[in-house]
């Protein structure tokens, strides 16, 4: 991301936010590049919304500095910042028409009437709401209200757009559509979006960069594939998709050989063992595992033996639960490529490649 511009669009420098009885955000350092779709991901109470509200100016940090395009905006009021927000549950003005809702920011800045009309109409076209211009917010569906909220913020050409769980109130199908729509609009208008969500799939679908927050800190930040493949902490591994975790003892750091409790040898990428002590926790994603008949001979380096306890056919894949020796139940997602359907009770082998293992702190 550093290649796009030298000065980050948003920069948080040692930002801490304390409330009366708890610390919501702790010593946060964060730099978000120009034109980035950035997702702040985490469970409720992790501090992601507080972080967003501090960028928007709705909360002042207890300590630390917030910069927008290099300019220190700490302590500036929301109406002084070149930032707009799409609020959770939209916060549309119920007494104004859709047109006046979208025109609100332009009018406050004294943009002249003809220009307001032109820009609002243009924006309503972008979000496909032109026919509803004279309606009141209550007369629109949730998805339409969501798009009004987006238009109301974007029409001001903010340098950064903040989105606070914008899709939370929509049903699944609409949410999927809006995810693609939001991504398209972000690319079209070319400004930085900071998107707060607790939905990991939503974050991964849209974001260029994801920061996973936990208890007021950023646990892991990076491109979606990067943090999915190498989550580094047990929390991130568990929050971003499913994973099978196991404790292993390092046998030979140089070759990446480790041993399970019962002595079974496994192999992992030696570079990931840096700093790993005698015992480390390793994980592997269910879809990285392959399931084999018990008599299969051509197997990958890491193999476990076990018994199928559950098999559910999803269509595109089959989800297995396998009771493996020494580690308990592991989840396997198998692509339906061949005719091997294993049934509960079948003895099987489960294998994977060393590079698909990750190590968590």
Partner 1 sequence: MTVELAPPPPGRSAAADRAETRRRRVPYLLLAPGLVWLFIFYVIPLFQLLRMALTTGNLQAGYVFDWVWENFTQVFTTYQPQLLRSLVFALATTMITLLIAYPLAYAIAFRGGRYQSLFLLLLLMPLLFPFLMRTLAWRIILADQGVVVQTLQNIGLLPSNGRLLATGWAVVAGLVYNFLPFMALPIYVSLEKIDNRLIEAANDLYSTPFTAFRKVTLPLSMPGVISGSLLTMIPAAGDYVNVELLGNPQQAMMGNVVQNKFLNIIDYPAAAAISFTLMVAIVILVLVYVRSVGTEDLVA
Residue 138 found at the interface with partner 1 (CB under 8 A): yes
From the CB of 38, what's the least distance to partner 1, in Å? 18
CB of 76 to partner 1, least distance (A): 11
Residues 139-158 that bind partner 1 (CB under 8 A): 152-153, 156
Within positions 32 to 91, which residues make up the interface with partner 1, using CB under 8 A? Answer: 56-58, 77-79, 83-85, 87-89, 91
Per CB under 8 A, 136 contacts partner 1: yes
CB < 8 Å & 24+ apart, contacts of 239-242: 239/41, 239/42, 239/43, 239/200, 239/212, 239/214, 240/41, 240/200, 240/204, 240/212, 241/200, 241/285, 242/285, 242/286, 242/331
Q: How far is the CB of 95 from partner 1 (least distance, A)?
A: 5
Site size toward partner 1 (CB under 8 A) is 27
The single residue among 20, 21, 94, 316 that binds partner 1, judged by CB under 8 A, is 94
List binders of partner 1 among 198-237 (CB under 8 A). Answer: none
Is position 95 an interface residue for partner 1 (rule: CB under 8 A)? yes
Query: Closest Cα to residue 299, out of 348, 352, 357?
Result: 352
Looking at beta carbons only, is 56 or 286 nearer to partner 1? 56
Q: Give residues 109-128 in contact with partner 1 (rule: CB under 8 A).
A: 109
Nearest distance from residue 96's CB to partner 1, in Å?
Answer: 8
Which stretches of the chain bind partner 1, using CB under 8 A?
56-58, 77-79, 83-85, 87-89, 91-96, 104-105, 108-109, 136, 138, 152-153, 156
């Amino acid at each position: 991301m550093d290649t796009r511009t030298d000065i980050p669009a948003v920069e948080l420098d040692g930002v801490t936010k304390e409330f009366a009885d708890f610390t919501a955000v702790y010593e946060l350092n964060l730099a978000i590049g120009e034109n980035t779709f950035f997702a702040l991901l985490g469970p409720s109470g992790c501090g992601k919304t507080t972080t967003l509200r501090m960028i928007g100016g709705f909360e002042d940090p207890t300590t630390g500095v917030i910069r927008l395009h290099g300019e220190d905006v700490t302590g500036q009021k929301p109406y002084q910042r070149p930032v707009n927000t799409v609020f959770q549950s939209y916060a549309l003005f119920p007494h104004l028409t859709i047109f006046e809702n979208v025109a609100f920011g332009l009018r406050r800045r004294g943009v002249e009437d003809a220009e307001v009309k032109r820009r609002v109409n243009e924006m309503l076209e972008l979000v496909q709401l032109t026919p509803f211009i004279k309606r009141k917010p209550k007369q629109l569906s949730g998805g339409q209200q969501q798009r009004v909220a987006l238009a109301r913020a974007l029409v001001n050409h903010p340098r950064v757009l903040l989105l606070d769980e914008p899709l939370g109130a929509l049903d699944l199908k609409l949410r999927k559509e809006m995810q693609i729509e939001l991504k398209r609009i972000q690319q079209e208008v070319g400004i930085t979006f900071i998107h707060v969500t607790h939905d990991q799939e939503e974050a991964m679908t849209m974001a260029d960069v994801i920061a996973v927050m936990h208890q007021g800190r950023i646990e892991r930040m990076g491109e979606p594939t990067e943090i999915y493949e190498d989550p580094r902490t047990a929390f991130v591994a568990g929050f971003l998709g499913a994973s099978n975790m196991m404790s292993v003892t390092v046998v030979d750091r140089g070759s990446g050989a480790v041993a399970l409790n019962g002595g079974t040898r496994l192999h992992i990428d030696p570079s990931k063992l840096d700093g790993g002590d005698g015992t480390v926790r390793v994980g592997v994603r269910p879809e990285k595992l392959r399931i084999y008949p018990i008599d299969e001979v051509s197997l990958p380096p890491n193999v476990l033996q076990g018994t199928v306890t559950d098999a559910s056919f999803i269509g595109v894949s089959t989800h297995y639960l396998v009771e493996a020796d020494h580690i308990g139940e592991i989840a396997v997602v198998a692509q339906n490529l061949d005719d091997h359907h294993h049934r509960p009770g079948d003895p099987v082998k489960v294998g994977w490649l060393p590079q698909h293992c990750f190590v968590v702190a």
